Structure 1
Amino acid sequence: MPPATARTLLFSVVMALATAPVAGAAPPPGTSPPTGAVPGAAAPADAAAGPGMLTAEPRFDWPLRPRPTVARRFDNPEHDWLPGHRGVDLGGAPGSPVLAPGDGIVVFAGTVAGKPVVSLRHEGGLRTTYEPVEAGVAAGARVTRGSPIGTLAAGHEGCPAPACLHWGARRDPTIRNRPQYVDPLGLLRLAPLRLKPLVAP
């Protein structure tokens, strides 16, 4: 191939690559993105009603109202025999309603080691416990998120508030037939997700 022809062919290839559209790049000036598209961001599957807001609701909510302070956080020990804190303590007042944070079934409502306890089973092999709680429900009852399951009692050891709700959560036994304790706060969406409004260039 003559040198002049080779140079012409190489120039054509370089120009084609330079002008080709780049995936994810903004559209050329004077053009509009496809309907519903957000430049620079993928539209979430659960985005709907209001502009820029994710409308999917969380499956779980706080078991006390108003939103309580966290008096003691989750501290899962590395080994079962080590001390730790397999749940969170939420500050409250004696007699406050304790609410189901999510839909489930009451699997226990009674006394354990002299403390009143309520336990719920949720989808996905999750079980949550609440103490000290004077039960207002019976085992086998179905509850929905926000429905009362009992009232908070005083006397939780180490509580800096007039009363504390110990809220625990665990998954079904998996390894060595032992339950997996999880942080209940991880079940909550602590703040609504919002998409930032677009600013015109």
Structure 2
Amino acid sequence: MRPNPTSIFPATALAILCPAVLAAPGAAAPAGEFAWPLQPRPAVVRAFDKPEHDWLPGHRGVDLAGGSGQSVLAAGDGVVVFAGTVAGKPVVSVDHPGGLRTTYEPVAAAVPVGRRVIRGSPLGVLEPGHQPCSPCLHWGVRRDREYLDPLALVHHTPVRLKPLTQEPAHA
């Protein structure tokens, strides 16, 4: 079951989200607060695929095309809460205001735990080894224990207002 955006965001945040982000299942944060963790904007090699239940297989993040040794950037302002190895892979995790946590793997950390980072600051470098698309960055985001689609952090559609039409006056 996909979360209802009103259960994820406070009402004030919903008011500033653009319609495309509101409509996206698992939307994670207002557009503009986050940026791509690789520059230039990478191709998405594998999309987010949240399983119906936590115990089922899925893809709890996105894979972004990159190059070995490429700088991996903080997607948003926050604090580094983990920089180490998980299941033999180097991982960096950043906590952001509002309860979001982004994760980046495989990344050789250049920042220590406890370091405050701003959007676009280097976290480390991309290493080979993430299958099946090495070298690529596995980028994830979650709120508490719920995994969300990280593309909702960076994808937005501009709001376009259409002119009001007036009914012709009848005499």
| Smaller-chain TM-score bracket | 0.7 to 0.9
Give SS of 2:152's match. Answer: helix
Q: Work out whether 1:181 is the aligned partner of 2:122.
A: no
1:88 paired residue number: 62
Q: Is the contact made by 1:58 and 1:189 (CA closer than 8 Å) also made in structure 2?
A: no
Give SS of 2:139's match. Answer: strand
Alpha-carbon shift at residue 190 of structure 1 (Å): 4.1
1:10 paired residue number: none
2:12 paired residue number: none
Q: Within 5 A, what are the aligned runs for 1:1-201?
A: 58-159=32-133, 162-172=134-144, 179-190=145-156, 193=158, 195=160
Residues 83-136 of structure 1 show CA distances to partners (whole Å, capped at 9, x for unaligned) of: 100000000100000000100000000111110000000011111100000001
Residue identity opposite 2:121 in structure 1: S
Q: Give the direction of change, closer, same or farther, for the CA distance of 1:185–1:61 in structure 2 (3 Å limit).
A: same
Residue identity opposite 2:138 in structure 1: H
Return the index of the structure with the highest Cα Rg: 1
Please give the alpha-carbon distance, in whole angstroms, between the structure 1 residues aligned to 2:84 and 2:48: 24
Bigger relative contact order, structure 1 or 2, given CA contacts below 8 A and separation 6+? 2
Residue identity opposite 2:137 in structure 1: L
Please give the alpha-carbon distance, in whole angstroms, between the structure 2 residues aligned to 1:73 and 1:66: 18
Please give the alpha-carbon distance, in whole angstroms, between the structure 1 residues aligned to 2:160 and 2:140: 32
Residue identity opposite 2:141 in structure 1: A
Give SS of 1:168's match. Answer: strand
Give SS of 1:124's match. Answer: coil
In the alignment of these two chains, the number of paired residues is 140
Q: Is the contact made by 2:31 and 2:154 (CA closer than 8 Å) also made in structure 1?
A: no
Residue identity opposite 2:154 in structure 1: L
Please give the alpha-carbon distance, in whole angstroms, between the structure 1 residues aligned to 2:31 and 2:51: 32
- Segments of 4+ moved more than 3 angstroms: 194-198
TM-score by length of 1: 0.64
TM-score by length of 2: 0.74
Gaps of 5+ in 2: 1-14, 17-29, 164-171
Give SS of 1:155's match. Answer: coil
Identity %: 62
Give SS of 1:71's match. Answer: strand
Task: Give the CA RMSD over aligned residues.
Answer: 2.4
Alpha-carbon shift at residue 195 of structure 1 (Å): 4.6
